[in-house]
Structure 1
Amino acid sequence: MPDTSNSQQQKVTLFSILLMMLTSIHHVYGAIVYHTPWRLHLLFLSIPVIALTLVLDRLLTPTHNRPWIFRSYLVLTLLASIILIGVFEGLYNHVLKNILFAAGLPENAMGKLYPPGIYEMPDNLFFEITGVLQGGIAIVLIIYFIRLIRNTHYQH
């Protein structure tokens, strides 16, 4: 892989792992403070994604360019880190929820978008900050992911 793509790949790896680590902390904290141990299910996704991302990243070197490894790396990052965690968990579950809550969306409408028992309305600063940070990291990850794809595409 060319140097430019390698630099972008390192950033994608970094932000994917940061997102998964933050999400793990966020869910463990949420499980404790809201007495919802089911939130720990996220660890069954985040820990393997962190491990696989690191392994695939190490296998992708300029001297060992294997297209199937690169495609696996892209699919893993796109599905797990960007879509499941970044877009759904970070942007929808927290960024949008906090915006709608702060804007004063009626309680019944909030309840339809964020059903009680599954979602918590903003009442814990650490939980909400770590949730919103997931959305911020996701945006940065998406930018580097797009750059990685563009740089790789232009190199071939």
Structure 2
Amino acid sequence: MLKPVKKEQGKVSLYSNILMILTSVHHAYGAVVYHTPWRMHILFMSVPMILVTLLLNRVLQQKADRSGWAWVFGSLVLLLSVMMIGTYEGLYNHVLKNVLYFGGLSARGMAMFFPPSMYELPNDALFEVTGMLQGVVVIPLVIHFIGWVRGLLNSTT
């Protein structure tokens, strides 16, 4: 694997792990504040994801070629970090929710997009800030992920 690809991969690993740590803290805090212990379920995904990402990044940093492990690494980061946490949890569940709420969307409209049985309307600054930060961290993650994939694809030609 070329040096620029390894550098991008390292950044992908870093931002993915920042996102997973942030979501772990966010959900643990939400479980306590909102008396919803089910929010802790995310730790069963985020902690293993951190460990697997660190391990695969280390293995791939030592490999000189593209391997199936690179695609395992990329698939996990894309599905779990980018799509599930960064896009859905960060951008939809928090950034969009706060924009609509503070933008004046009616209570009925908020309930339609964010059913009260699943969502809390903004009422705790730390919970909302850590939630929105997930949407912020996904941006550099996506940028470096795209650079990493391009580098992998170009290294075959």
TM range (shorter): over 0.9
TM-superposed CA distance for 1:66, in Å, is 4.8
| Partner Cα distance (1:57, 1:63) in 2 | 10
- Summarize the Cα distance change of 1:53–1:147 in structure 2 as closer, same or farther, 3 Å threshold: same
Partner residue in 2 for 1:41: 41
Provide, for residues 12-55 of structure 1, a one-character-per-residue CA deviation record: whole Å limited to 9, x for no partner. Answer: 00000000000000000000000000000000110111111011
| Partner Cα distance (2:16, 2:93) in 1 | 18
| Partner Cα distance (2:79, 2:121) in 1 | 27
| Partner Cα distance (2:130, 2:19) in 1 | 10
Work out the number of aligned pairs and report it.
Answer: 156
Runs of 4+ in structure 1 deviating by more than 2 angstroms, as ranges, are: 61-66
Partner residue in 2 for 1:155: 155
- The 5 Å alignment of 1:89-104 reads 89-104=89-104
Moved more, 146-155 or 131-140: 146-155
| Partner Cα distance (2:106, 2:83) in 1 | 28
Contact 1:23 1:131 in 2 (8 A): yes
- Summarize the Cα distance change of 1:154–1:140 in structure 2 as closer, same or farther, 3 Å threshold: same
Secondary structure, counterpart of 2:61 in structure 1: coil
| Partner Cα distance (2:133, 2:100) in 1 | 17
Stretches of structure 1 lacking an aligned partner (at least 5 in a row)? none
2:28 counterpart of 1:23: no
| Partner Cα distance (1:99, 1:66) in 2 | 42
2:108 counterpart of 1:87: no
Contact 1:15 1:140 in 2 (8 A): yes
TM value normalised by structure 1:
0.97
Q: Cα RMSD (Å) of the superposition?
A: 1.0
Q: Percent identity?
A: 47
Moved more, 91-100 or 63-72: 63-72
TM value normalised by structure 2:
0.96
Partner residue in 2 for 1:133: 133
| Partner Cα distance (2:90, 2:141) in 1 | 12
TM-superposed CA distance for 1:113, in Å, is 0.8
Stretches of structure 2 lacking an aligned partner (at least 5 in a row)? none
- Give the aligned residue type for 1:35: H
2:70 counterpart of 1:70: yes
- Give the aligned residue type for 2:118: I
| Partner Cα distance (1:93, 1:121) in 2 | 10
TM-superposed CA distance for 1:63, in Å, is 3.8
Partner residue in 2 for 1:112: 112
